Amino acid sequence: MNASNERQARIPPRPLIQRIGAILWPSFFAAGVATMVLFAFVDPVELAAISFPDITISREQGYSIAFFGFWIGFASACTTTWLLLRPAGRFHESTPDQPRTTRSSSP
């Protein structure tokens, strides 16, 4: 076992609330910015009239729908990034009855 694997083994997992916050807070911030940028150029009432002519949507409802849509989109992007950046050592732990295998360079 090399030094980085030993160090990773000693690092305890982060609390659940910290992991959830690391996903929701940046996505919340990005959704707020994206909503402001979108509605700086587009009126939500006009957008609703073009998109859903049979449904009446107020400005506040348009802002809310767009914000939550952006938030879901950015949260899924943050979650995907979090999943891809997790250290591999935490998921390939050996069990007591099964020794940890390592890749060797010999054929």
* pLDDT band of 1, cuts 50, 70, 90: low
Whether residue 19 lies inside any domain: the answer is no
Domain encompassing residue 58:
29-84
Q: Which of 50, 74, 45 is nearest to 62 (CA)?
A: 45
Q: How many angstroms separate the CA atoms of 29 and 26, rounded? A: 5
The pLDDT tens digits for 2-53 are: 666 566 567 777 788 888 999 999 999 999 999 999 999 999 999 888 988 8
Whether the pLDDT of residue 75 is over 70: the answer is yes
Alpha-helical segments (H) within 1-107: 3-10, 16-41, 44-51, 59-85
Instruction: Name the domain count of the chain.
Output: 1
Whether residue 62 lies inside any domain: the answer is yes
Whether residue 100 lies inside any domain: the answer is no
